[in-house]
């Protein structure tokens, strides 16, 4: 959410930002906010004037009563009551104006960084850099669920009977591999100085409103019936929510946190053949990284965060690339975002395995997360988030890139302690 003062002073910049995101239908909101803000500030001025007038009348009443002029004092008291009623009515107007302003401000997108490429959708995202040599082996690589089935490691049919499409059972070595990569990711981030968390897996609507746009909520979140609770789509939601209504001493910054959680997403719409199996599902697990910092440090942390993901995937011998998200592909709260994509030797292309974003002070402003300087001045913190890894999607990249011609799957050295010392997974069939 933008600062109302910024919108008031820079309406054309805000409109141009909306155009860059190809959301022209939101352009009228800017003028509506400015007009409502004008009315709100006029009401505030009137209230302040009436309060000053009532204070003066109260002093006069006291003086008249002291002089024994009771009738004159009572007449002024009646006038004071009338002014009080006017103040109450104006305060109700203010509340209505502020609610209307907030409703619109929650929909106006955040200002994107000047470096973000302008484009309509993800087809116009821009490749930044590649890490590791993408290799296509001289043998055919099966679809990822076929690889898993060769280890008796997945049961989609039973999951469909139990929960429907978009769910899975993982078993045996594949289930162990799933847990191993999450444990490795946890320790990888702890070794880089991040504090490990397991957060609540449900959050209240106030937090949902603070961390994401309405469009994201409707497309992603599962609502708990008859309760003010939503299942999280990522632990970023509850981790940022942890600081709601808090004033953080500046000397405590930055907070560098890494969190594990299951994640639940609606994933509306059809996604095509390549997204069957366990690529796009309703339930998965993820290790996330979150940073809360000073505004002047947010871009430095942005660069560090996506690099952490690249380093982790490369330590598992998986080639990756980074892709700068264009303006039209950015969610409304994001200032800048980069996707990390892993190489798929089966498809001979890269696919998304993580996303790193800086949101400026948008989440902090919505959730009232402020930083207190030693001189007492306060400002809104900046928040960032990034995927360390998400399973089982990460397993797709892992299995394809470590599959051998005989069907074995090589275990990279760094992962072997988490797999009981195994060098290879041996297929059961």
Identify whether residues 68 and 131 lie together within a single domain: no
C-alpha 135/C-alpha 145 separation (Å) is 21
C-alpha 193/C-alpha 237 separation (Å) is 21
Q: Which domain holds residue 20?
A: 4-105
> 112 in a domain, yes or no?
no
> 117 in a domain, yes or no?
no
C-alpha 11/C-alpha 27 separation (Å) is 10
pLDDT tens digits for range 94-133: 999 999 999 999 999 999 999 999 999 999 999 999 999 9
Identify whether residues 217 and 362 lie together within a single domain: yes
Identify whether residues 311 and 277 lie together within a single domain: yes
Identify whether residues 160 and 280 lie together within a single domain: yes
Determine the distance from the C-alpha atom of residue 57 to the mean position of all C-alpha atoms in its chain, rounded to a whole number.
Answer: 52
Longest dimension (CA), the chain: 107
HSE-CB for 159 with a 13 A CA cutoff: 15
Spans of the chain, pLDDT less than 50: 270, 273
Instruction: With beta carbons less than 8 A apart as the criterion, state whether 318 and 351 touch.
Output: no
Identify whether residues 83 and 126 lie together within a single domain: no
> 115 in a domain, yes or no?
no
Domains of the chain: total:
2
Which of 53, 70, 105 corresponds to the end of one domain? 105
Amino acid 267: pLDDT: 77
Report the side by side order of strands in the sheet with 195-197.
126-131, 320-324, 336-344, 349-358, 382-391, 283-293, 255-264, 195-197
CATH number at 196 reads: 3.30.930.10
Which of 42, 72, 105 corresponds to the end of one domain? 105
Identify whether residues 153 and 15 lie together within a single domain: no
Identify whether residues 227 and 186 lie together within a single domain: yes
> 113 in a domain, yes or no?
no
Residues in contact with 218: Cβ distance below 8 Å, sequence separation at least 6, in sequence order: none
C-alpha 29/C-alpha 7 separation (Å) is 11
Amino acid 37: pLDDT: 96
> 10 in a domain, yes or no?
yes
C-alpha 135/C-alpha 403 separation (Å) is 12
């Amino acid at each position: 959410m933008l600062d109302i003062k910024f919108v008031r002073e820079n309406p054309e910049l805000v409109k141009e930002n909306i155009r860059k995101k190809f959301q022209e239908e939101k352009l009228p909101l800017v003028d509506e906010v400015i007009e409502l803000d004008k009315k709100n500030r006029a009401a505030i001025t009137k209230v302040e004037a009436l309060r000053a007038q009532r204070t003066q009348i109260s002093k006069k009443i006291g003086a008249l009563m002291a002089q024994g002029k009771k009738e004159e004092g009572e007449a002024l008291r009646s006038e004071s009551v009338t002014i009080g009623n006017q103040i109450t009515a104006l305060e109700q107007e203010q509340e209505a104006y502020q609610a209307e302003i907030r409703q619109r401000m929650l929909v106006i997108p955040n200002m994107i960084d000047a470096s973000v490429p302008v484009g309509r959708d993800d087809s116009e995202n821009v490749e930044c850099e590649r890490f590791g040599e993408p290799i296509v082996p001289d043998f055919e690589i099966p679809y990822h669920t076929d690889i898993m089935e060769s280890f008796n490691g997945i049961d989609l049919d039973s999951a469909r009977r139990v929960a429907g499409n978009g769910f899975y059972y993982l078993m045996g070595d594949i289930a162990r591999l799933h847990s191993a990569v999450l444990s490795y990711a946890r320790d990888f981030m702890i070794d880089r100085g991040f504090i490990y968390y397991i957060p609540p897996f449900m959050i209240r609507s106030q937090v949902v409103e603070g961390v994401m746009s309405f469009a994201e909520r409707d497309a992603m979140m599962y609502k708990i019936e008859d309760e003010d609770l939503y299942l999280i789509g990522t632990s970023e939601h509850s981790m940022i929510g942890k600081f709601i209504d808090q004033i953080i001493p500046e000397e405590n910054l930055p907070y560098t946190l890494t969190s594990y959680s299951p994640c639940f997403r609606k994933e509306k719409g059809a996604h095509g053949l390549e997204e069957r199996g366990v690529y796009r599902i309703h339930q998965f697990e993820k290790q996330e990284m979150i940073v809360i910092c000073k505004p002047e440090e947010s871009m430095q942390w942005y660069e560090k965060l996506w690099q952490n993901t690249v380093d982790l995937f490369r330590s598992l011998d998986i080639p990756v690339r980074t892709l700068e998200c264009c303006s039209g592909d950015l969610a409304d709260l994001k200032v800048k975002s980069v996707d990390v994509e892993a190489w798929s030797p089966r498809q001979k292309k890269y696919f998304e395995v993580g996303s790193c974003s800086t949101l400026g002070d948008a989440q902090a402003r919505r959730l009232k997360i402020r930083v207190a300087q030693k001189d007492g001045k306060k400002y809104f913190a900046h928040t960032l988030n990034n995927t360390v890894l998400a399973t089982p999607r990460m397993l797709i990249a892992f299995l394809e890139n470590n599959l051998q011609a005989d069907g074995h799957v090589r275990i990279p050295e760094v992962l072997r302690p988490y797999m009981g010392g195994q060098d290879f997974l041996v297929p059961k069939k």
